[in-house]
Chains A and B, each alone.
Chain A
């Protein structure tokens, strides 16, 4: 196998994705670099619009075209740059070696096809499994994601399932070909609070069982501590801080990460402590502030912040941060 034990399963280098909008081209993802080791869970955190979904979609080259396109970067997966593959090779990666789970369980399943067909489909296209056998495997998968009465459910249609159940089906579908990596884009955001933890627990448990790496995208730093090994924090299309879950929880260093941390309720803090929401709004990509995109909202903003873009710098073993001001540490 091309990827050795020491090099990461996924290496993203300088990934930049542009969208054409009414006001010209915008970089929805700007020079993003990140690594994912085999079997590891990486959380990608950021406010809505920070480029998390676009990053995820670019890994599988599913950025909606023609309005969006990947303009620079490398996505090296298992030693191969996915951005250089032809269509057929790319299809062999999708749903097979890398699978994806989307944010919208209500609309991500085809309303006119049975659950059985949809869950069995990856076996059919990637392994050439005959349909009868593939349906048998689909039933086993539905059992694994704990869908009761799985045999009968194979013939059912999405509208007969609740949101939580549909997301279980999406997870089953993603697990089908035992992918080396699963990308879950806010898999629980659209769900009832009561089932959110169940779904995340299930996802974590099953990816550990199959030793798949997991990229867990979320806007909720609260879920990160429980599920992630490492964390990337995104702001306006860039990664502003990355480190182990511990680094982020105990030694958050970027002013934006710290502000995010302060805005979530934490069990280990006095519940009377007031949450501090981040003031202001995320910037519009079409009118990004010059320099550090966070500076209009940053309490630590100083001289270079409005003029130069801070680069990620190493501040610990696996801890990196893009900020000029040391006082923020």
Chain B
């Protein structure tokens, strides 16, 4: 038995929908951006432990180690194998003479552990060919694509067999890989460890990470502790390194604050719209609620009516809002937009809209408890 005013009913649904849209959308973009910071870790699933200089604060914060550290790590009890990984920025010179900084990943020459997750064309094993590199798909079509004769003319995507110049060294493209987008969106170039260190500017230390596999039956944290004790290096599991990286970005960039403000605003807008429409809705209907009460409707009957109505609004509104957000997610799947919606986000959105609904419901119930049926005889 809904006492209805269609306009207000839709205004309330709209308010909840807008709120849940903003909350879902903003937190998904936030999570999307944050997961980009750890995209590289996602793409390197094989090792159990990532070993690095203890002062490293996040995955792109490279503090090179001496090559001898690799042997030390291999000697730690419980380590099945350990391979070197180079990760660093190297300038590529494009055919038209402009430069583009690339994120070069150097994989262990023998095993190629840490290679690209999905190949679009070519094979990872072709990295064993002379001067070979694999570039990521987005860069091949974008930042590393060959420019046309004029700035306006379309670029030609990089393909197998094309040449690149990395820090004055010749490189041949032998494959195109699909990688998880990273935060800096720099082109990713895979090659072998020895070649990467040859491309890289001369430095005393070049070993960025040591990727280690733990022997079956050994405890990860125990082995990590041993590595730290014997080599002075830090060893993290992939989730730990992701956590470290995300915490670093949270603490040191304005990203969380900006998104926090957007999400908070969304919530306030929702509370304001829904609260305000619901308030006037209840006030308008006070007379009818009073009549029902005079005719014998107990408080719990009136409560049920109000709760049914608010929760219908809450459910419809958050459904519509999250629906639009998911639609954006589908549409933006192949775009630059960072949008990632893990299951926690809808849950949080539902909690937020439930909270709004609850607040307005409690407010309405409070009005109903104080309702004097005597108002029914007043003009």
Whether chain B is bound by chain A comes out as: no
